């Protein structure tokens, strides 16, 4: 079974802090994704990566950056956290490009910015 592990289940940070959300997958998947989940809005794609050191903006990249130095690890960075970034963050990976390769999600990190 694919395992996608997000390092924190809950985080509380202050406005202006730099925040790192870490995600590791153990199945040698090429593709990794960061989504945020908000009630009534579903899942929205922040950034994704199809290869090491490669990144692409999703639908809502503003205020975020990412890092993929190793194939198994994909980090989401909030350079200066703001209260509107309070949300559930979900990391996902998939084996191949294209929608025939299902997404495997982690259990999420619930971030609160005060």
Alpha-carbon gap, residue 25 to 111, rounded angstroms: 20
User: Which lies closer to another protein via its Cβ, residue 15 or residue 112?
Assistant: 112
Q: Which residue has the tokens 């910015």?
A: 113
- Minimum CB distance to another protein, residue 72 (Å): 17
State how far the alpha carbon of 24 is from the alpha carbons of 20, 95, 108, in Å. Answer: 13, 14, 12
- Minimum CB distance to another protein, residue 113 (Å): 21
- Minimum CB distance to another protein, residue 47 (Å): 14
Alpha-carbon gap, residue 1 to 4, rounded angstroms: 10
Binding site for another protein (CB under 8 A): 4, 35, 40-45, 59, 90, 92, 98-100, 102-103, 105-108
User: Which lies closer to another protein via its Cβ, residue 84 or residue 100?
Assistant: 100
């Amino acid at each position: 079974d694919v395992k996608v592990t997000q390092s924190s289940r809950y985080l509380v940070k202050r406005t202006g802090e730099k925040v790192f959300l870490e995600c590791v997958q153990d199945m040698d998947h090429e593709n990794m994704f960061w989504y945020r989940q908000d009630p009534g809005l579903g899942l929205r794609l922040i950034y994704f990566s199809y290869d090491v050191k490669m990144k692409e903006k999703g639908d809502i990249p503003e205020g975020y950056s990412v890092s993929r130095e190793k194939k198994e690890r994909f980090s989401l960075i909030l350079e200066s956290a703001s209260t509107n970034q309070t949300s559930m963050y979900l990391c996902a990976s998939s084996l191949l490009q294209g929608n025939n390769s299902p997404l495997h999600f982690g259990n999420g990190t619930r971030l609160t910015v005060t």
